Structures are given as structure tokens and as C-alpha cells.
Amino acid sequence: MNRTQDLGKLIKLTGDRAKLDAKANDTYIVYKTREGTIVKEFSNGDIVRMNDQDFQHE
């Protein structure tokens, strides 16, 4: 394997671990899709698209 393939595998494993942790703690993960949309994925499989208001702090 080359470095690019190794890095891709490590990224995938990290995402899989995050999903397991979210399920164990009944929470969600946040990530950017291939289309560039930022989403929350809940442990039950529900996916919610986030908008600009979700990122603003008061």
C-alpha cells in the first residue's frame, strides 16, 4: 500500500470509531459530505443538514 491508501484507510477507521462512540453515548457525529454539506448523523441513522444559524455563537 502507498501512503495515500494508508491515510484513506485511517480516515475511514476514525469515522467508524466516531460512529461507535456516538451510538454508545446516544449522541451524533458531524461531518462534511462529498457535496460539501455539513450534516449531523444520529446514532439511529437520522441525518440532519446543518445551516449557517447552527454555527453562530451568541
| This prediction's pTM | 0.71
Around Cβ 47, how many Cβ atoms within 10 Å?
A: 12
Residue 13 grid cell? 477507521
What is the domain extent for residue 13?
A: 3-55
> How many structural domains is the chain composed of?
1
Each residue's pLDDT tens digit, 3-51: 999 999 999 999 999 999 999 999 999 999 999 999 999 988 899 999 8
Cα gap 32→8, rounded to integer Å: 16
With beta carbons less than 8 A apart as the criterion, state whether 19 and 28 touch: no
